[in-house]
């Protein structure tokens, strides 16, 4: 079985242009992400999929594997499918793990947990969730919530509070937030990128709702590992540098 980690990385970003190349204590963010993902021993290959020559050259210079993909992709999922086609792997025996390029401190163990979902031959798509312990996060629309079936499959994702607390208080029921890493069987990936945008996806601006609305099942893994620092804005860079200092991540200030 091929298990390939693909890191989609585009240069243009409305909130933070050039984000993959931002310097994090001596290394570009996309290089740090690549190095973290490469620590996962189950992965048979790790590749950055980009639309920009500067990102391409940065990964090449760092000794990493990188592919140029189309400028027209609207999502990281589309970029993963493009890279998969270029890799020319056996589609029936391949799992693709999609890791966001702005997660330079992603826990390798969380990727391992995600991969373990495919021990079940019926798993089509998998993702990672974590129990919420603060009510402030529950009401934050930037924290995506998810409700699960008894089998751990995602029933729905939302930026709103789900389930709604009518006759219960926070702490009386488990709430889960979504951690945005995905894995797919290669055949499934090639199918979902052909789906049209769905009404639920438009309403919540959450791509995974397109897959659920089309009838695909998303298996989840409830992780116990602590959150790291995702970088969405320029302001998040200082948080990332603080994380490096506090967690002893190897870096070079020269």
Integer angstrom CA distances of residue 108 from 38, 115, 129, 185: 8, 11, 15, 20
In tens, the pLDDT along 5-57 reads 999 999 877 667 788 998 998 899 999 999 999 999 999 999 999 999 999 99
CA 6 to CA 20: how far, in whole Å? Answer: 14
Structural tokens at position 139: 């009401």
Q: Taking 80 as the threshold, does the pLDDT of residue 228 lie above it?
A: no
Query: Sign of torsion, CA 164 167 168 173?
Result: negative
State the CB neighbour count (10 A cutoff) for residue 64: 18
In 3D, which of 4, 38, 9, 47 has the Cα closest to residue 108?
38
The pLDDT value given to residue 252: 41
Q: Of 36, 104, 99, which Cα lies nearest the Cα of 243?
A: 104
Q: How many CB atoms lie within 10 A of CB 248?
A: 7
In terms of pTM, does the model score above 0.85? yes
Q: What is the mean pLDDT of residues 171-200?
A: 96
Domains in the chain with CATH codes: 2-247 (3.90.550.10)
Summarize pLDDT for 71-124 with one digit per residue, the tens: 999 899 999 999 999 999 999 999 999 999 888 989 999 999 999 999 999 999
249: which 2 tokens?
Answer: 């991540």
Confidence of residue 248 (pLDDT cuts 50, 70, 90): low
Chain centroid to CA 43? 15
Q: For position 126, what pLDDT does the model report? A: 98
């Amino acid at each position: 079985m091929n298990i390939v980690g693909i890191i989609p990385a585009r240069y243009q970003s409305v909130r933070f242009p050039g984000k993959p190349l931002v310097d994090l204590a001596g290394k570009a963010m996309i290089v740090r992400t690549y190095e973290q993902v490469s620590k996962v021993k189950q992965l048979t290959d790790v590749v950055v999929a980009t639309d920009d020559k500067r990102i391409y050259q940065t990964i090449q210079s760092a000794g990493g594997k990188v592919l140029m993909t189309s400028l027209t992709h609207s999502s990281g999922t589309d970029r993963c499918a493009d890279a998969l086609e270029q890799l020319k792997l056996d589609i029936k025996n391949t799992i693709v793990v999609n890791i966001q390029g702005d997660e330079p401190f992603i826990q390798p163990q969380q990727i391992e947990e995600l991969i373990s979902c495919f021990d079940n031959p019926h798993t089509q798509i998998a993702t990672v969730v974590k129990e919420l312990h603060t009510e402030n996060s529950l009401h934050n629309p930037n924290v995506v919530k998810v409700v699960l079936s008894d089998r751990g499959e995602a029933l729905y994702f939302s930026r709103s509070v789900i389930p709604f607390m009518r006759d219960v208080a926070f702490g009386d029921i488990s709430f889960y937030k979504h951690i945005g890493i995905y894995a797919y069987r290669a055949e499934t990936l090639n199918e979902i990128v052909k789906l049209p945008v769905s009404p639920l996806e438009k309403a919540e601006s959450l791509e995974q709702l397109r897959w659920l609305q089309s009838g695909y099942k998303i298996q989840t893994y409830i992780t116990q590992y602590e959150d790291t620092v995702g970088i969405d804005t320029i302001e998040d860079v200082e948080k990332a540098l603080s994380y490096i200092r506090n967690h002893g991540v190897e870096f070079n200030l020269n």
